[in-house]
Structure 1
Amino acid sequence: MSNFKSKAVAPSLAGLSGTPDADEVFVVDPSIRARRRETRIVVLSRLILAAVALLVWEWACGRWISAFWISSPSRIAIAALNMWNSGGLLRNLYATIAEALVGFAFGVAGGMVMGVACGTSRVISKVLNPFLVGFYSIPRIALIPLFILYFGIGFQTKVIYIALLVFFPVFMNTLSGVRDVNQDLIDVIRVMGATRSDTVRKILIPSALAWLFAGLRISVTYALTGAIVAEMFTSNVGLGYLVSYYANQFDTSSLFATLAVTTALGLLLNAFVVLIEKRLLRWRPVEGA
């Protein structure tokens, strides 16, 4: 009799204790399921759209438009494979990546330092503002001949040019992020005895990170674009050099293959920045949650 009672009472006690059942433990939040479903739909839609575009391109080549002008995905793939097997693609790819990353690093460092300095000091901001605005109004591509004159056609010329392209997006976003910080936070930490450097390290820079990464996502593509443009003018190696070379040879398939590699590289660099942003800004609420 006692065994029967214990078995009968046990289920009711389990429900009252607040301990979830095995099925309840593994129930997925509906919002998480919705985000996963949305992600699958987006990925599938992208793949379908890309496949349709490539199929239409392949079919139109030679029928609507001459292959001399647009080539075809199959010919471009063959050209890319030949470039890879020859070893030339990998060598030029490494050169472009090295230039883009070094120039990007210098541009980001300079933009962050200048953005924090101008954001924390009104005097510095007012003094430098007309110079920065004036320099920003100069088309950067017009500076390449001067850079060739000053620094030659080596690695340093392309790095300086890339750093200039990257500097301004990072600077403006960092400046906006520093100025957007809640003044109450600054007042509280100063009342607690924080120094100016403590305020910059613990309040201004962390609060400006969201703005900074917005600038990084823009500037990473600027870095790659700057490397390609500079190589077209000042180099005999790199993806930009290949673009110029194949254009002069009227080799449309190899030209499109080089542009496809450049596009893939840009997507990878942007994805890398987004990954770092997600890891450093995990405290931000997820959009749509």
Structure 2
Amino acid sequence: MRGETENVVVQKHATFEKNKAIQKEDPFIEDEELKERRTNRLSVLGRVMVGVLLVVAWELFTRIGILDSYYWSSPTTIVQTGITSITEGTLIQDLFYTSGATVLGFILGTFIGSLLGLSFWWSDLYSNIAEPYIVAFNAIPKLALAPVLVIMFGIGFSSKVVLAFLMTVIVTAVAAHSGVKSVDKDLEKMLFSLGAKRKQVFSKVVVPSAMPWIVSSLKINIALALAGTIVGEFISSRYGIGRMILYAGQIMDTDLVWLGVVVLSMLSILMYLGTVWLEKLLLRGQVTQK
């Protein structure tokens, strides 16, 4: 046994040295991990360069008159408007209001939607009865319910959270249900035949199988949650980026409108990156458990 282990170690070392020698001889052969890192760096650099070019072109076109600065504003004017809003404290307040309602609705919708979708595994009868209603509710444009929800929950923070919640809960439930359907039935039967309890099969097989489906919905959910919050602020709200944009449009302040649009764009990017990080964290933890 000891001799076999030593032979395996020697073979692996020889293979490593051989690959290393080949890479030295052929400069076009490189490690996959290094290649992926270089690609990621170039991708980030490319995105930054494209963004900078767009901003520079925007500023240049407004200065030379190709774009009407009254309608399109300009990056420098938007920055000045942003500094003024930050100094007055209104922008920070609106930003925290919008992001808070979005994140809270996103968390509640993802959590409850996951529980709802996973619960379909426990009973085929329950799943068959509930599934058509889930599909029907998913087909309803939730934003059309926004005026009713604002009337029910008021113009405060609660109505924005409810809108963000409704935008995400069904999407997550459908994703979790799809994950439950993907579970290997033969594996379930084998575990039951070996004496496994339903709770054990659920926690050890069903949940891990559905997790990639749930995680894949996070990127979509965060965008839907933000859209729901903004629509709620458009209808009626005291605070929020959506309210700021609506108010700026009413008083014909295009600089403030564009400031709101830029802030929303940056907020959506940050939230998207947050879900990407969360996705990697959850899937990495699942791999570690395996």
On whether the aligned pair clears a TM of 0.5, the verdict is yes
State the percentage of identical aligned residues. Answer: 29
Instruction: Note the C-alpha offset of 1:130.
Output: 2.7
Aligned to 2:261: 259
Q: How many residues align?
A: 267
| 1:105 corresponds to which of 107, 127, 141 | 107
Matches within 5 A, 1:1-289: 30-62=31-63, 63-282=65-284
1:223 alignment partner AA: A
Question: Structure 2 CA distance, aligned partners of 1:151 and 1:16?
Answer: 69
* 2:155–2:238 CA contact under 8 A, matched in 1: no
* 1:120–1:178 CA contact under 8 A, matched in 2: no
Question: Structure 1 CA distance, aligned partners of 2:13 and 2:117?
Answer: 52
1:171 alignment partner AA: A
Instruction: Note the C-alpha offset of 1:119.
Output: 4.2
* 2:138–2:171 CA contact under 8 A, matched in 1: no
The CA RMSD over aligned residues, in Å, is 2.5
Question: Structure 2 CA distance, aligned partners of 1:209 and 1:190?
Answer: 22
2:47 alignment partner AA: R
Higher mean alpha-carbon deviation, 262-271 vs 30-39, is at: 262-271
Q: Deviations over 1:144-169 (max 9, x none)?
A: 22212322222221211111101122
Q: 1:284 to 1:151 in 2, by over 3 A?
A: closer
Unpaired stretches in structure 2, ≥5 consecutive residues: 1-9, 25-29
* 1:169–1:216 CA contact under 8 A, matched in 2: no
Moved over 4 A (4+): 15-21
Q: Deviations over 1:61-105 (max 9, x none)?
A: 151221111111111111111111111111111111221122112
* 1:79–1:253 CA contact under 8 A, matched in 2: yes
Which one has the largest radius of gyration?
Answer: 1
Unpaired stretches in structure 1, ≥5 consecutive residues: 1-14
Question: Structure 2 CA distance, aligned partners of 1:122 and 1:128?
Answer: 10
Instruction: Note the C-alpha offset of 1:17.
Output: 12
2:123 alignment partner AA: S
Q: 1:18 to 1:33 in 2, by over 3 A?
A: closer
Q: 1:134 to 1:16 in 2, by over 3 A?
A: closer
Higher mean alpha-carbon deviation, 116-125 vs 250-259, is at: 116-125
1:266 alignment partner AA: S
Q: 1:269 to 1:17 in 2, by over 3 A?
A: closer
Aligned to 1:4: none
Instruction: Note the C-alpha offset of 1:283.
Output: 6.9
Q: 1:16 to 1:187 in 2, by over 3 A?
A: closer
Question: Structure 2 CA distance, aligned partners of 1:73 and 1:119?
Answer: 53
TM-score (norm 1): 0.84
Q: Deviations over 1:20-41 (max 9, x none)?
A: 99xx8xx9x7111101111121
TM-score (norm 2): 0.84
1:75 alignment partner AA: T
